[in-house]
């Protein structure tokens, strides 16, 4: 099962340069990995401050899923001092780790121990088609990119974030209306609204740490109630929907990068080309906070089982800059079609 995902032309170029600069000190290892039980996800964790690893043409600079056991993975250590840790994880089992350096053995076996009382992952993506969804208020971060060259900077705008968040939620209400039979606006009355405002900040901190590839492999289920204080009484109001055995909550988090007019003009003058988000592939951005095109919007939809509070699915897509009204309406329309959501055409 292939788990490693590339990050486009930029990372390939970086890898190429790294090979040239460090070729004399590199070591190639063909790790043959297996586990008991099989089907564990192997994640590589580079050591902080250590020269990185190269896997399938991509530099590994941060914690990254590699494969599912059993598997053979070729890894190039970019220096004689490169160190990393391989961690195998499977739902319902303790994780197991293996230290990697230029002298480490290539045969790797992970022995995982069962955790009593923890169910193995049971969610299937096809379950989304028959689910019933309560859409929670969406949240948008708007970052303004200005300047060119050495003056290039990106800053979070609280004012623009609040404005676009309100506009998106209003448009979602219009989009859903009473016609959608699968997605409903979560009924958040005055008392719930205060609770939600207090919860959403902590909810963001937790869900943004979750990795879409690892979701079904974490040793312990990613329960919101266990990790976000105060969420249990909130979710209990949504988990008893009559006539539906698959109640879900949908939570939409977005990061919008918009350019100032001065930056757009400056880039046109310097390059002759207007930069756009579609310059690379951002369809699978496993670290949402790292999403940083010149302009565009990353939308991340978290599907939460309303009965257990487990985050069971994460959907990520890229759209145009939603500070533009037409782009915002297009994104709201796509979200309203979940679980069939349209991705921005590349």
Residues 140 and 90 in one domain: no
Q: Which of 111, 138, 165 is the last residue of a domain?
A: 111
Tokens of 133: 């969804």
Burial tier of 133 (Cβ tally within 10 Å: 0-12, 13-18, 19+) = buried
State the Cα–Cα distance between residues 131 and 246, nearest whole angstrom: 5
- The verdict on 214 and 295 lying in the same domain is yes
Residue 161 forms part of a structural domain: yes
- Given 111, 134, 154, the domain boundary residue is 111
pLDDT at 21: 46
Whole-angstrom distance, CA of residue 318 vs CA of residue 101: 37
Q: For the chain, where are the alpha helices, taking DSSP H only?
A: 9-22, 158-176, 190-207, 224-227, 231-235, 261-271, 325-335
Residue 118 domain-assigned? no
**Phi and psi based region of residue 56 (left: phi greater than 0; alpha: psi -120 to 50; beta: remaining):** left
Q: Which of 210, 215, 204 minimizes the C-alpha distance to 136? A: 204
DSSP string computed for 115-159: -TT-PPP---GGGGGG-EEEEPPPEEEEEEEE--GGG-EEEE-HH
What backbone torsions phi and psi does residue 232 show, to the nearest 5 degrees? -60, -50
Same-domain pairing of 101 and 129: no
Read off the CATH number of the domain in which 66 is found: 2.60.40
Note whether 307 and 230 are same-domain residues: yes
The percentage of residues in the chain with a pLDDT greater than 90, rounded to a whole number, is 48
Cα–Cα distance, 152 to 156 (Å, whole number): 14
Taking a C-beta distance cutoff of 8 angstroms, is the pair 270, 158 a contact? no
Inside any domain, residue 167: yes
Nearest alpha carbon to residue 291 among 277, 302, 308: 277
218 and 293 housed in the same domain: yes
Task: For residue 138, give every residue at least 6 positions away whose Cβ sits within 8 Å of its Cβ, in sequence order, or none.
Answer: 165, 168, 169, 172, 251, 252, 253, 254, 335
Contact 27, 77 (CB under 8 A): yes
Whether residue 345 is contained in a domain is answered as no
Residues 33 and 152 in one domain: no
3-state secondary structure of 184: strand
pLDDT tens for 192-225 read: 777 788 889 999 999 999 999 999 999 999 999 9
* Interstrand relation of 132-135 and 247-259 (parallel, antiparallel or unpaired): parallel
Determine the pLDDT at residue 243. 54
Is the Cβ–Cβ distance between 25 and 82 less than 8 Å?
no
Give the count of domains, the chain: 2
- Judge whether 302 lies within some domain: yes
User: Does 315 fall in a domain?
Assistant: yes
Q: Which letter does DSSP use for residue 59 in this model?
A: E
Inside any domain, residue 344: no
Last residue of a domain, one of 85, 111, 137: 111
31 with 149, same domain?
no
pTM of the model: 0.84
Same domain for 166 and 98: no
142 and 98 in a common domain: no
Q: Identify any residues that bridge with 248 across adjacent strands, giving them in sequence order.
A: 133, 305
- Let me know whether 164 and 290 are in one domain: yes
Are residues 146 and 105 part of one domain?
Answer: no
Q: 3-class SS at 100?
A: strand
259 conformational bin, left if phi > 0, alpha if psi -120 to 50, beta if neither = beta
Residue with tokens 């499977």: 90
60 and 53 in contact (C-beta within 8 Å)?
yes
176 and 46 in a single domain? The answer is no
Give residue-wise pLDDT tens across range 107-143. Answer: 999 999 999 999 887 788 888 988 889 899 999 999 9
**What stretches in the chain show pLDDT beneath 70?**
1-24, 147-151, 178-180, 191, 239-245, 261-285, 342-346
Q: For the chain, what is the mean pLDDT?
A: 82
Write out the residue range of the structural domain in which residue 184 sits: 125-335
pLDDT at 70: 97
């Amino acid at each position: 099962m292939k788990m490693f995902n590339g990050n486009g032309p930029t990372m390939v170029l970086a890898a190429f340069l790294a090979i040239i600069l460090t070729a004399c000190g590199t070591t190639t290892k063909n790790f043959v990995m297996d586990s008991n039980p099989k089907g564990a996800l192997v994640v590589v964790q580079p050591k902080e401050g250590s020269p990185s690893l190269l896997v399938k043409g991509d530099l590994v600079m941060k914690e990254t899923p590699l494969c599912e056991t059993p598997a053979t993975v070729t890894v190039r250590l970019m220096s004689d001092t490169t160190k990393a840790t391989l961690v195998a994880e499977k739902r319902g089992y303790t994780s197991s780790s293996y230290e990697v350096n230029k002298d480490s053995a290539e045969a790797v076996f992970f022995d995982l121990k069962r955790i009593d009382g923890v169910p193995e992952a049971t969610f299937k993506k096809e379950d989304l088609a028959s689910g019933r969804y309560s859409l929670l208020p969406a949240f948008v971060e708007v970052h303004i990119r200005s300047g060119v060259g050495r003056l290039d900077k990106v800053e979070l705008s609280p004012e623009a974030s609040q404005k676009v968040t309100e506009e998106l939620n209003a448009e979602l209400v219009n989009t859903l209306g009473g016609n959608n039979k699968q997605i409903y606006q979560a009924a958040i009355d005055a008392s719930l609204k205060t609770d939600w405002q207090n919860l959403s900040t902590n909810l963001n901190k937790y869900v943004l740490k979750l990795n879409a590839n690892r979701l079904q492999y974490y040793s312990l289920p990613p329960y919101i109630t266990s990790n976000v204080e105060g969420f249990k009484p909130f979710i209990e109001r949504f988990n008893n929907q009559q006539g539906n055995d698959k109640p879900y909550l949908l939570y939409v988090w977005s990061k919008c990068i918009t350019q100032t007019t001065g930056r757009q003009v400056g880039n046109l003058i310097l390059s002759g080309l207007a930069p756009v988000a579609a310059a690379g592939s951002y369809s699978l951005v496993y670290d949402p906070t790292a999403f940083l095109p010149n302009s565009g919007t990353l939308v991340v939809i978290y599907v939460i089982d309303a009965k257990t509070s487990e985050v069971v699915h994460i959907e990520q897509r890229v759209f145009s800059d939603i500070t533009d009204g037409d782009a915002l309406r297009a994104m709201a329309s796509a979200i309203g079609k979940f679980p069939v959501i349209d991705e921005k055409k590349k």
